[in-house]
Amino acid sequence: MTRHLGVLLLLSVMFFLGSNALPVSDPVEVNYAQTAAEMWRSGDWVSPQIYGNYWYDKPVFFYWELILSYCLFGISDFGVRFFPSLFAAGGVWLTYFFGRRIYDEKTGFWGAVILATSLIYWFVAKIIITDMSLFVFMNGALIAFYGGYSRKKRGLYYLGYFLAALATLTKGPIGLGMPGLIILLYLALRHDLGELKRLKIFSGMLIFLAVAAPWYWQMYALHGEDFTGTFFGVHNVLRATVSEHEKWNHWYFYLTIWFLGMLPWSVGVVKTAVTKMWAERRVGRELLPRLRRFWAELSPATQFLIVWAVFVNAFFQCMATKYPTYSLPAFLPLALLTARWLAPYGQMKKICAGVGVGLCLLVTSVLGFQLWQDGHFAGKHIAAAVKQEASADYLLVSVGDYPASVVYYTGHPMYALESREAIAAKKTKTMTWDSKNVMPFMAKEDLPSKGSVYLVLEEHAFKRFPTEFKEEEWQFITEWPPNKPKLKLYRHSPTS
């Protein structure tokens, strides 16, 4: 057991490796980092804001985590990645203790190792998004339920409501809805819906509301329908009904995410499963009876893990918008199920663990370096050039996709240059994805001809630049990366 704890501690520490060498990237990470930075500087820790505008994309808890990291470490690359790594370590230990409780020490240990060395889990531990915090809170709520249900210690249900409230403050209504539906389905399959009477729903919901409701109520009191319409409408209803990433709309999307995200362990599972199915092949008409017998022979804990893992993936498969990290909560039960499945294959587990650690370190080092070279972190380099070149009073504008990381690293506002007609078209009042555009705009016609003006040109606008601007009036300063630039920086230098 001591050796097991030492291995898990080492894996936990590894989540923090390289964090100081990974700048905040565009376009997703910077939204969270910049929002928390503006909340921190303004002293308003209630209303998320970005570019001086209120921002209703996500609830507040993850921003509080980032603000706390700023208080501890300042606005730094390590600090902004601290809590995703910390919660990743917490998720590994949560898996270990849960697996040890429902199975045994060895299963808990290997389940934790499998989770920690799975590609998607390691990746999410290194990026600045809400999903790792949601992973711990939502899965913690489900574990609290099962502990109360299986051990008849129903006081644990209160812990589940508390953790569901934190999940709701992290991601929204899914923080309560997802655990609730999983529990309901599991009890139905167990023919034990009578347990609903003992779930302490009334008193538990009082705890849930006491934790989660104050922030939502305060936001409604401060912002009214702007908050409810955007947060619940655009970022919840629209996300569920209108695809934001149509290229990912395939029936096999989350099956692919499981295979790729659980590398190298998914290879071991597929290999052993195919071998076993071939050895025990039966005619097709025997499949359904065998599945029923298989389900009936499973332990209640294994049944719970299967319902948990399958429901998460099935639920998000039915949603219009699909995203790789949506299925992350399913990887805790999948890790424990994988540990049980691979229990007889000791050598394979050791090989997969070694490959997994190597693969995760490769992601941190080589892939991180590659992302830097490819320009995903170009904003930090361009921001450094701006700060070195510019005086205290300057105007910063951009053309092309808005590189928000330049704003984050300069601490200076930047305006997206568009024509007056384009700006008017973007200010839609309908519930569409354009409703998410909150960056500040400036009409090209209003661009001053004098003064200190710096232009950040994004790669999609490189070809437009000569036709829309007088090149002779702009002095090139730098670009990044040098070999295949994503961003270029110019200073306005009028010829007359």
The DSSP string of 264-332 is THHHHHHHHHHHHHHHT---GGGHHHHHHHHHHHS-HHHHHHHHHHHHHHHHHHHSSS--GGGGGGGHH
Let me know: does 107 contact 340? Beta carbons within 8 Å. Answer: yes
Q: Which residue shows structure tokens 């080589």? A: 366
Domain that holds residue 383: 378-492
State which amino acid sits at residue 440: P
For range 430-443, the mean pLDDT: 68
Scan for tokens 């989660």, then name that residue. 212
Is residue 126 pLDDT above 50, yes or no?
yes
Region of 191 please: left (phi>0), alpha (psi -120 to 50) or beta: left
Burial of 334 (0-12, 13-18, 19+ CB in 10 A): buried
As a whole number of angstroms, the distance between CA 176 and CA 298 comes to: 27
The pLDDT of residue 150 is 93
Residue predicted with more confidence, 138 or 244: 138
Strands 415-418 and 395-399: parallel
Same domain, yes or no: 399 and 429: yes
Same structural domain for residues 308 and 431? no
Sorting pLDDT into bands at 50, 70 and 90, what band is 233?
A: low
173 and 34 assigned to the same domain: yes
Q: Which of the listed ranges 55-69, 259-273, 282-296, 408-422 does the model predict with the highest average pLDDT?
A: 55-69
Do 331 and 382 have their domain in common?
no
Tell me the angle at which helices 156-171 and 61-73 cross, rounded to the nearest 10 degrees: 80
Q: Which of 416, 399, 420, 403 is nearest to 468 (CA)?
A: 399
Q: Give mean pLDDT, residues 282-286.
A: 55
Domain boundary, last residue among 370, 405, 430: 370
pTM of the model: 0.91
Cis check for the bond before 344: say yes or no (omega within 30 of 0).
Answer: no
| Residue at a domain's end among 327, 348, 370 | 370
Q: Who has greater pLDDT, 281 or 217?
A: 217
Shared domain for 210 and 268, answered yes or no, is: yes
* Number of domains present in the structure of the chain: 2
Beta bridge partners of 226: none
Tokens of 125: 């531990």
Per-residue pLDDT at 309 exceeds 50: yes
* Residue 249: pLDDT over 90: no
Residue 368: what pLDDT? 63
Pair (403, 294) in one structural domain: no
Residue percentage of the chain with pLDDT more than 70: 89
CA 95 to chain centre: 19
pLDDT at residue 468 tops 80 = yes
* 131 shares a domain with 206: yes
413 SS3 class: coil
Within 13 Å and on the Cβ side, how many CA atoms surround 263? 12
Average pLDDT, the chain: 88
- Answer yes or no: is pLDDT of 426 > 80: no
Q: Tell me: the pLDDT tens digits for 348-391?
A: 999 999 999 888 888 777 656 555 555 567 889 999 999 998 87
Which of 39-48, 163-172, 373-382 has the weakest average pLDDT?
373-382
What b/e string do you get for 39-77 counting C-beta neighbours within 10 Å, with b at 16 or more?
A: bbeeeeeebbbbbeebbbbbbbbbbbbbbebbeeeebeb
Greater confidence (314 vs 283) lies with 314
50-85 per-position pLDDT tens digit: 998 898 889 999 999 999 999 999 999 999 999 999
- Which of 324, 345, 370 is the C-terminal boundary of a domain? 370
Burial tier of 478 (Cβ tally within 10 Å: 0-12, 13-18, 19+): middle
Give the C-alpha separation, 13 to 360, whole Å: 13
Residue whose C-alpha is closest to residue 449's, from 413, 371, 395: 395
Q: How confident is the model at residue 18 (pLDDT cuts 50, 70, 90)?
A: confident
Same domain, 361 and 382: no
In the DSSP assignment, the letter for residue 19 is G
206 and 131 in a common domain: yes
Res 433: pLDDT: 47
Angle between helices 82-102 and 61-73 (to 10 degrees): 120
Regarding whether 445 and 335 lie in a shared domain, the answer is no
Q: pLDDT class for 313, splitting at 50, 70, 90?
A: very high
122 and 27 inside one domain: yes
Name the range with the highest mean pLDDT among 134-143, 373-382, 450-459: 134-143
Mean pLDDT of 116-134: 94
* Domain match, 325 and 427 both: no
Per-residue pLDDT, averaged over 301-308, amounts to 96
